Amino acid sequence: MAELNPVLHTPLQHATFHGAGVVMGENLFCAKVIVRGNFDDAQLTSRLSEQAGLPVNVAANTFVENDSAAVFWLGPDERMIYSYAKEPQVLLAELRSVMPAGRSSAVDVSDYYTTIRVGGVNARKVLSAGTPFDVHGSNFPEGSCVQTRFGTASVMLVMQDSSPAFDIQVRWSFAEYVWRYLRRVAEFRTLTPQS
Amino acid sequence: MILINCPYCGERDQTEFACHGEAHIARPTDTASLTDEQWGDYVFFRTNPKGIHYERWVHVHGCRRWFNAVRHTVQDEILATYEVGAPRPDVGGQQ
Ligand SMILES: [Zn+2]
């Protein structure tokens, strides 16, 4: 297997930002595959779970993750699978090898999306300035992922931990828009604690 | 802010959704024998009620699934949402 070079292939060149109670950065490149199929099929589900290294039959609006992979719910018949260790084409081939032809699909979207990590005490405020989804902990606990809107961009919000730290998955062409939006809100004067 | 209950994701803000007109309109199967008037009815004419309306919606910014909704066209209240293929739900005999 070729050496995975996570420094390449990201729209924001791993930009970082720190200030106003917000820490942001673009995550490293990773393999991303969208799988569509019948997840009520126990055989398909167990085979895919084996390949992904994680259970793929996750509940609506949730995800599971370990050191080498993650599985996100996108719809009743759709999952997003990340691999932090494998090349995209390797992950794709492994998943396809257990999928019945003609009744399911796997598509490499590694270069179609990037993710931005937003953390810090004001992270929730920054997020809520752009999305209609209620990101309060009572509505958006750890382990949740939701597809929603940020500004005019379609995004997936991922609740990584309640420190808090969120990931925003966004399409490549909207990454700079979302990044600038987040920065603009983070730099807004009223977010900083009054001295 | 209006919340719409996506059958797959749960309650979400209306700005995540788009409406695409009346639901439960089946494409004619005997297309070869249809008159121009019958085609016209199928393509262009809708019930346009004042009151209960059955509509097709899509969760554009969410799960991107299509579903149906029962909406009151005067109050703009969504009374029920349900999966495509399911029968019209009972919304308490309102008109
Ligand atoms: Zn939905």
Digit-coded pLDDT (tens) for B44-77: 999 999 999 999 999 999 999 999 999 999 999 9
Domain ranges of chain A: 16-28+112-189, 31-108
Using CA atoms, how far apart are residues A6 and A85, in angstroms rounded to an integer?
10
Q: Is the peptide bond before A11 cis (omega within 30 degrees of 0)?
A: no
What residues in B contact A146, CB-CB < 8 Å? 9, 62
Tell me the average pLDDT across A53-70. 97
- What distance in angstroms lies between residue A171's CA and the mean position of ligand 1's atoms? 19
Above 60 in pLDDT, residue A1?
no
Res A189: pLDDT? 59
A163-168 long-range CB contacts below 8 Å, 24 or more apart? Answer: A163/A119, A164/A119, A164/A123, A164/A124, A164/A137, A165/A117, A165/A118, A165/A119, A165/A123, A166/A117, A166/A118, A166/A119, A166/A123, A166/A127, A166/A135, A167/A27, A167/A115, A167/A116, A167/A117, A167/A118, A168/A115, A168/A116, A168/A118, A168/A127
Return the residue in B11, B16, B66, B67 with the most chain A beta carbons within 10 A, the one to mutate for interface testing.
B16
pLDDT at B39 > cutoff 70: yes
Q: Characterise B32 by phi-psi region: left (phi > 0), alpha (psi -120 to 50), beta (else).
A: alpha
Contact A148 B8 (CB under 8 A): no
| A155 Cα to the center of ligand 1, angstroms | 13
| Contacts of residue B68, Cβ cutoff 8 Å, sequence gap at least 6 | B23, B24, B54, B55, B56, B57, B81, B82, B83, B84, B86
pTM for the predicted model, two decimal places: 0.91
Q: Which CATH class is domain A31-108?
A: alpha beta
DSSP strand pairing (B77-83 vs A153-161): unpaired
Alpha carbon of B91 to ligand 1 centroid (Å): 22
Of B12, B60, B63, which is closest to A133 when you measure between CB atoms?
Answer: B12
Confirm if B72 and B94 have CB atoms less than 8 A apart. yes
d(CA B20, CA B40): 19
ipTM: 0.88
CB contact under 8 A, A146 and B16: no
Mean pLDDT of chain B: 93
A12-33: pLDDT as tens digits: 988 999 988 899 999 999 999 9
Residue ranges of chain A whose CB lies within 8 Å of a chain B CB: 60-61, 74-76, 78, 132-133, 146-149, 154
* CATH topology assigned to domain A16-28+112-189: Gyrase A; domain 2 (3.30.1360)
Name the CATH superfamily for B3-28+38-83: Folate-binding superfamily (3.30.2270.10)
The CA B64 to ligand 1 mean position distance, Å, reads 6
- B16 in contact with chain A, both atoms CB, cutoff 8 A: yes
Round to whole Å and give the CA distance between A92 and A96.
6
* pLDDT over 70 at A125, yes or no: yes
Q: Could you give the CA distance from residue A67 to residue A69 in angstroms, rounded to a whole number?
A: 6
Give the mutation candidate from A148, A156, A171 for the B interface (greatest B CB count, under 10 A).
Answer: A148
